[in-house]
């Protein structure tokens, strides 16, 4: 892939992608087209293949069958360093660094770790700015147990910091795997309200189990037992009255009962 292609916002395509973990078929014949400038949600039960797809997209693994393309170029042919520069994101098992709040965020793009304006912008985009600015020394506050006076954060607070770290990189593709699992409903709503604007000029993919926020995505992909079972907008999938509508209504009923 050329340098100019990486700098543009690419179309992501999965063509017949399958992946096994030992004898377990995690993803089977996935065919997905992700368009630039839009937000795309991956949904489905645990083990449905969502995380496997995003890990293949980031080339943490290679597919056993099929190809993943960025603007028509197979990512298996792209230099790994170049591919990493083109994709930014956060996974469920994010790291909590024993460092200052600013360093925790800046490590998302090490070359700009001392760029205070970039760190602050990433914090704002992730909704972490009020948290960090409210710490005893703001962005200079030491976080974690290694420091005698280190500030301890809750799981949700650490997740906001990790989200900010993912926004440090101005990559054309952004991937968020369960970015709000530890956040309260209000914080999640606010993040996804911003995600559509953050997706402008990028190709954005996220995984979430909360359908109240998933419904705001431009396009939704439902995975079931390792296969892409349904895709469309929230309204289209509700009219389809398939698995997505079933899961959405099941979750909604928990709030109404």
Place of tokens 């770790």: 113
- What residue ranges do the domains of the chain occupy? 3-256
For the chain of 257 residues, list the mean pLDDT of each consecutive stretch of 10: 54 95 94 89 92 92 95 91 84 86 94 95 91 96 84 88 88 81 68 68 83 86 95 96 94 71
pLDDT of residue 172: 86
Q: For residue 72, how far is the Cα from the chain centroid?
A: 22
pLDDT of residue 40: 92
**CATH class belonging to 3-256:** alpha beta
Q: How far is CA 113 from CA 25, 103, 147, in A?
A: 40, 6, 20
pLDDT of residue 180: 65
Q: How far apart are CA 122 and CA 116, in angstroms?
A: 10
pLDDT of residue 159: 85
Phi-psi region of 69 (alpha: psi -120 to 50; beta: other; left: phi over 0): beta
pLDDT of residue 81: 86
pLDDT of residue 237: 97
Closest CA to 25 of 64, 59, 51, 55: 64
pLDDT of residue 4: 41
Q: How far apart are CA 69 and CA 90, in angstroms?
A: 21
Closest CA to 47 of 244, 225, 243: 225
User: What angle in degrees, to the nearest 10, is found between the helix axes of 185-198 and 116-126?
Assistant: 120
């Amino acid at each position: 892939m050329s340098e100019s292609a990486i700098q543009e916002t690419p179309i992501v395509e999965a063509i017949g992608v399958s992946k096994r973990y030992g004898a377990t078929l995690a993803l089977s014949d996935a065919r997905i087209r992700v368009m630039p400038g839009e937000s795309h949600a991956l949904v489905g039960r645990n083990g449905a293949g969502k995380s496997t797809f995003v890990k293949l997209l980031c080339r943490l693994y290679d597919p056993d069958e099929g190809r993943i393309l960025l603007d028509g170029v197979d990512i298996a042919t792209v230099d790994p360093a170049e591919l990493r520069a083109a994709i930014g994101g956060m996974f469920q098992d994010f790291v909590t660094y024993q460092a200052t709040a600013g360093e925790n965020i800046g490590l998302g793009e090490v070359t700009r770790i001392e760029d205070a304006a970039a760190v602050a912008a990433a914090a704002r985009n992730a909704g972490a700015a009020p948290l960090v600015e409210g710490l005893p020394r703001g962005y200079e506050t030491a976080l974690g147990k290694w420091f005698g006076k280190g500030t301890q954060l809750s799981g949700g607070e650490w997740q906001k910091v990790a989200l900010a770290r993912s926004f440090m990189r101005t990559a054309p593709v952004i991937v968020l795997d369960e970015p709000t699992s530890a956040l309260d409903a209000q914080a999640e709503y606010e993040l996804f309200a911003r995600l559509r604007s953050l997706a402008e000029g990028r190709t954005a993919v996220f995984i979430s189990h909360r359908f109240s926020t998933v419904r705001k995505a431009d396009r939704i992909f439902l995975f079931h037992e390792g296969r892409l079972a349904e895709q469309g907008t929230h309204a289209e999938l509700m009219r389809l009255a398939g698995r997505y509508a079933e899961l959405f209504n099941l979750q909604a009923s928990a709030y109404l009962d």
